[in-house]
Amino acid sequence: MNKAKEFMNYASDVIQTIMREEEENLEKAAIALKDTMARGGMLYTFGTGHSTMLCMEPFMRAGGLGACYPILEERLMPNVVKKPGDETLERQEGVTAEIFKRYPIKKGDVMIVFCYAGKNATSVDACLLCKELGVTSIGISSVEHALTVGPHHSSGLLVHQACDISIDNHGRVGDASIDFDGFTAGPISTVVGGAIVQAITCRAIELMLEEGIEPEVLLSMNVPGGDEHNKPIMDKYHKIIPFVPAL
């Protein structure tokens, strides 16, 4: 089979599996997000490496919620030149606590923790710190990968065990999904991770509307009336999130 078609079919199959196998956990996550939005809380996103792309997925998106604050630590991002010692920073305990101190995270907020491997110390720390702070953590990881490689955190926990709500992305060990002669290519984590986040968001918005709660949903800035609709939302969150522009 053409490898492009094989990847598209594989991605579709994984998403269908998530819909079938993770329905209960998706609903729990959507309810948690709805409850947080209803009480004026914030959605935080946290991840390292390529997972930082998923941290940006729900942020300031057309059709997304205004109350989203991605935790973007340059030292944990793949596009930044690393200082000596930073190459393994995502595997070091204590780093997340230092990062969290710079954000106004509070009781009643919700945080999505993206960690494909499900074992990084920074991500496990994020889930454990959320418990201390009274924040609901939603972990998105490959449970198969995590159980195969085992824990690296001193607690002995993996992300799906440390978080409050676990959503298995049902990806293969190693993320790459398409077999070639002697190697694999086509990582799946970004595709399915983005789908999971948007599914949770759409369901949370639906639940808010059912309860008579008006969601702060952004419009595309590239459609007529988009700026006018977004201005009060962006002006509000500009005061909290420094990289949200005030229109």
Q: Is residue 245 part of a domain?
A: no
Q: Tens digit of pLDDT for each residue in 131-190?
A: 999 999 999 999 999 999 999 899 999 999 999 999 999 999 999 999 999 999 999 999
Q: Tens digit of pLDDT for each residue in 96-142?
A: 999 999 999 999 999 999 999 999 999 999 999 999 999 999 999 99
Q: What's the mean pLDDT in 33-37?
A: 98
Q: Is residue 162 part of a domain?
A: yes
Please state whether the predicted TM-score (pTM) of the whole model is above 0.85: yes
Mean per-residue pLDDT of the chain: 94
Contact (Cβ atoms closer than 8 angstroms) between residue 45 and residue 114: yes
Confidence at 69, pLDDT banded by 50, 70, 90: very high
Does the pLDDT of residue 89 top 90, yes or no?
Answer: no
Q: Is residue 230 part of a domain?
A: no
Q: Is residue 43 part of a domain?
A: yes
- Angle in degrees, CA 171, 206, 11, rounded to 5: 20
In which domain, by residue range, is 9 found?
A: 3-216
Task: State the DSSP code for 135.
Answer: -
In whole angstroms, what separates CA 82 from the centre of its chain?
23
- The tally of domains found in the chain comes to 1
Q: Is residue 89 part of a domain?
A: yes
C-alpha distance from residue 240 to each of 197, 199, 219, 234 (Å): 22, 26, 20, 10
Contact (Cβ atoms closer than 8 angstroms) between residue 90 and residue 121: yes
Q: Is residue 51 part of a domain?
A: yes
Q: Is residue 167 part of a domain?
A: yes
- CATH number reported for the structural domain that contains residue 158 in this entry: 3.40.50.10490
Q: Is residue 241 part of a domain?
A: no
